[in-house]
Amino acid sequence: MKRILFITRAYPPVVGGMEKLSYEITTGVSKLTEAYIIANRKGKKNLPFFIPYAFFKSLHLIPKKKIDVIHISDPVLSPLGYFLKKIFGKKVAVTIHGLDVILDNKIYQTVIPPFLKKLDKYICISSYTKGLALNAGLNEDKCVVIPVGVNPDEFILKEKNLREKLGKEINVDFKGKKILLSVGHLVERKGARWFIENVMPKLDKKFVYLVIGGYGNLSKGDELGRYKEIAKEKGVGNRVFLLGKVSDRILKLAYNSADVFIMPNIQVKGDAEGFGMVAIEASSCGVPVVASNIEGIKDAVVDGKNGYLVESGDSEVFVKKIKNLKALNVKGFTKENYSWEKISKNYFESF
């Protein structure tokens, strides 16, 4: 039996993709073997205090619990992983998310990569992320691709009249409408602005577009207000609904009410979509995805299985795919290939 020590700087109750991944993997692997967790549950501001705490906690825990393998949540903790490896002679694995190897910051790129390159296993969340890792000089023999997962029943609502309930929550009448949905921060690479400008004017009035998401780290100014102005200028202001951050209840209602989930990402220098967790959250509810064929999205959306991939920036093909969706076993495919149970087993086998 392998004894695993997880050290993660991102963990609930803080909300985010890395936090979700850390929680699900630590929980899943703990069901398969003896595992221990040192987690930062207080967010980024606590990081200067967490790293020394994690180091001294590890000095005590590793010999006491006879730890075999150490997993760190991301490259930021590479120096910590390296020093524990040198002190105890243990193998250290790290999850690579994408932006964490291409971050355009001189201090980061000076400090992190030398330690990262000395670790033993790189778990990349997509084939695209693996490519970024290799371009950054990481050893291909140490790289393995394990995607992000979803709890198949987590977002499903077994209620009636979901569209009506969603409409009441956000004060929109969906009668006779087709609901398009995007979920993600209002940053350029997510492509919501591009979709409002270039696709919505080409779709007839029965299509409405819901955008759920607040401001991300790379947001610039009041995107919410700017996107609303653009929708008005394009004559689709009455069909585009920018909801900002919403409750879990509204998010679930949206996932269960949508006809098509949209990921219209565009390429932006210095930013990237490592995977696309929201795509599999939507497809776990049976919603087909129409997404840009770029970056890590290609690992989250398998063309003809849980949705369709479209060349980024091709508004005509986006319109065509949205109007002519074929029936797919979206929910079944997602459950079979992206359940956290399966992903956790893959992590354990990698360890």
The pLDDT tens digits of the residues spanning 39-68 come to: 999 999 999 999 999 999 999 999 999 999
How does residue 91 score in pLDDT terms, banded at 50, 70 and 90?
A: very high
* Domains and their CATH numbers in the chain: 3-146 (3.40.50.2000), 162-336 (3.40.50.2000)
Handedness of CA 136, 138, 141, 144 (dihedral sign): negative
Cα dihedral 289, 295, 300, 305 in deg (nearest 10): 60
Q: What is the mean pLDDT of residues 311-329?
A: 96
State how far Cα 138 lies from the chain centre.
22
> pTM higher than 0.95 for the full model?
no
CB 148 within 8 A of CB 275: yes
DSSP code at position 217: T
Q: What is the pLDDT of residue 268?
A: 87
Amino acid at 277: M
Q: What is the mean pLDDT of residues 274-279?
A: 92
Find all residues with CB under 8 Å of 315, minimum gap 6, and list them. Answer: 198, 199, 202
Q: What is the pLDDT of residue 87?
A: 98
Q: What is the mean pLDDT of residues 286-300?
A: 96
State yes or no: cis peptide before 113, omega within 30 of 0: no
Handedness of CA 125, 129, 134, 136 (dihedral sign): negative
Tens-digit pLDDT profile for residues 308-317: 999 999 999 9
Whether the pLDDT of residue 5 is over 90: the answer is: yes
Q: What is the pLDDT of residue 224?
A: 85
Q: How far apart are CA 277 and CA 301, in angstroms?
A: 10
DSSP code at position 3: E
Q: What is the mean pLDDT of residues 265-290?
A: 92
Percent share of the chain, pLDDT over 70:
98
Q: What is the pLDDT of residue 221?
A: 64
Q: What is the pLDDT of residue 103?
A: 87
Tens-digit pLDDT profile for residues 164-220: 999 999 999 999 999 999 999 888 999 999 999 999 999 999 999 999 998 665 556
**Region of poorest pLDDT, from 128-142, 218-232, 329-343:** 218-232
Mean pLDDT (the chain) is 95
Q: What is the pLDDT of residue 117?
A: 97
Cα dihedral 335, 289, 188, 343 in deg (nearest 10): 10
